[in-house]
């Protein structure tokens, strides 16, 4: 007995065919309509208070500023009162007029907590009002309903997004044409066209406002990101500069150690084997450390970077720097207190660079002002104080085109050396930079 299994393949039908771009566009539009106006239409979404940082709110005193935060809610309440007044004053029996007034005010007030639901309620209120109001008026919106629906469209458009406003306008047009065609009273003129014209104008203004606000927010965020990136890049560049300088300083000292360790046995007649072995070990370790230092820190060098032929500057070269600054037009005095001594080269290099940056800032931001450099050799460290006076003509100073991160680089150097730094304007309009760089006693004595 032979059993045969037949496999039937269903030919591809219409469901497997790719959809046309028009179909996908229509499906996406209907999906957006469902998300904007049908899905969670009556969800609770209260209108927030106005931020205290507004241009007008900032100028108000404390108590008035607190009340001003509720100004959007007050404006909505005023709009509801206007719509209610237009409905009540329409000629009709008092009970009917009061009911029409409530039907005009409630949708406007509902925008404070359920904006999308207020739109649907406004359409329903327009239908009920047109049925119970027998007085002369337009169709399908009576005077109160007309104002109420315009207010609802405006408030909901402000609170949501342009796509929702477009759908509300389209449904308003559909409601108006359908009501005018099917349920129109022959004696009344349709006011659908005025409603669509005014609402389109208002929604266009609101859409432009939305676009401008989003553009400002995006530009502000971009400016903040750019400023942060610029600050980060400047910080990295300053760290790279510090690493290059320290690399040159340490590499020089390690080279000296290796050379002295290699030459030391030849300076002693008949040195013991233990001493020769110790010098060989010192040299090997110095060379290995130098190789590792160049391998690790060499990556911070740019391709076109060349190590300076001259040694890195120290505080002993400060007089030449001050002479150069004086030639540039800055009157600067130097005061040295304490016992002058040689400090670790990293400390002296950083101190020199900070004095250089502070004087450059004085030239840039306070041209014509005098400056004073104070250097204090104290127990346990080095103190620096660079202060400049106020510029003689501050109104003539042009904005500096620099990045403005010189203080950041100075703080990096101070942080690297575990020091302390303050930089702030003085009472007379100048600027002062104070720095303390700690130097261990053993390091200071070893360098003498």
From CA 257, how far away is CA 183, in angstroms rounded?
103
Q: Looking at residue 402, what is its pLDDT? A: 46
* Angle, vertex CA 349, rays to CA 344 and CA 353, nearest 5: 150
From CA 149, how far away is CA 143, in angstroms rounded?
10
Phi and psi torsions of 188, nearest 5°? -105, 150
- For the range 55-63, what are the long-range contacts, defined as Cβ-Cβ under 8 Å and sequence gap of 24 or more? none
From CA 8, how far away is CA 6, in angstroms rounded?
6
Q: Looking at residue 397, what is its pLDDT? A: 61
**Cα dihedral 256→261→264→265 (10° resolution):** -160
The pTM is what? 0.54
Q: Where are the domains of the chain?
A: 22-190, 231-300, 315-393+400-447
Q: What is the mean pLDDT of each run of 10 residues along the chain (448 residues)?
A: 49 59 76 83 86 62 74 92 89 84 94 93 90 72 91 94 91 88 63 92 93 89 85 76 69 71 74 80 76 61 52 84 83 92 87 89 83 92 92 64 65 87 90 91 52
Rounded to whole angstroms, what are the CA distances from 136 to 194, 252, 258? 17, 100, 108
Domain 315-393+400-447 is found in CATH 3.30.565.10: yes
């Amino acid at each position: 007995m032979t059993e045969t299994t037949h496999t039937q393949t269903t030919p591809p039908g219409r469901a497997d065919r790719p959809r046309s771009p028009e179909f996908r566009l229509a499906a996406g539009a209907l999906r957006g309509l469902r998300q904007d106006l049908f899905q969670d239409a009556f969800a609770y979404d209260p209108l927030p208070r106005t931020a205290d940082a507004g241009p007008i709110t900032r100028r108000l005193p404390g108590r008035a500023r607190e009340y001003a935060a509720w100004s959007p809610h007050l404006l909505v309440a005023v709009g509801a009162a206007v719509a209610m007044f237009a409905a009540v004053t329409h000629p009709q029996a008092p009970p009917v007029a009061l009911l029409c007034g409530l039907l005009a005010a409630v949708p406007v007030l509902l925008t404070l907590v359920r904006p999308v639901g207020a739109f649907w309620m406004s359409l329903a209120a327009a239908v009920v009002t047109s049925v119970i109001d027998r007085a002369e008026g337009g169709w399908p919106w009576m005077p109160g309903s007309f104002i109420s629906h315009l207010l609802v469209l405006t408030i909901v458009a402000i609170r949501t997004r342009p796509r929702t406003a477009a759908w509300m306008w389209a449904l308003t047009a559909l409601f108006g044409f359908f009501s005018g065609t099917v349920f129109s009273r022959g004696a009344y003129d349709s006011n659908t066209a005025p409603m669509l014209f005014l609402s389109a104008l208002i929604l266009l203004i609101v859409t432009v406002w939305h676009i401008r606000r989003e553009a400002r927010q995006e530009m502000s965020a971009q400016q903040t990101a750019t400023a942060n990136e610029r600050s980060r890049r400047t910080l990295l560049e300053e760290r790279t500069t510090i690493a290059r300088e320290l690399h040159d300083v340490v590499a020089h000292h390690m080279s000296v150690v290796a050379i002295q360790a290699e030459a030391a046995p030849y300076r002693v007649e008949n040195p013991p084997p233990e001493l020769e072995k110790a010098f060989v070990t010192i040299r090997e370790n110095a060379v290995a450390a130098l190789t590792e230092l160049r391998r690790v820190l060499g990556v911070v060098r740019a391709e076109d970077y060349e190590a300076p032929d001259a040694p890195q500057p120290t505080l002993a070269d400060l007089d030449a720097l001050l002479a150069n600054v004086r030639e540039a037009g800055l009157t600067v005095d130097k005061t040295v207190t304490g016992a002058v001594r040689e400090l670790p080269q990293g400390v002296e290099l950083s101190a020199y660079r900070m004095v250089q940056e502070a004087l450059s800032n004085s030239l840039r931001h306070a041209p014509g002002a005098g400056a004073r450099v104070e250097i204090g050799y104290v127990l346990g460290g080095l103190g620096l104080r660079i202060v400049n006076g106020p510029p003689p003509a501050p109104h003539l100073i042009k904005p500096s085109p620099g990045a403005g991160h010189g203080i950041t680089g100075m703080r990096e150097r101070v942080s690297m050396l575990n020091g302390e730094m303050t930089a702030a304007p003085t009472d007379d309009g100048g600027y002062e930079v104070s720095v303390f760089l700690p130097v261990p006693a053993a390091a200071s004595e070893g360098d003498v």
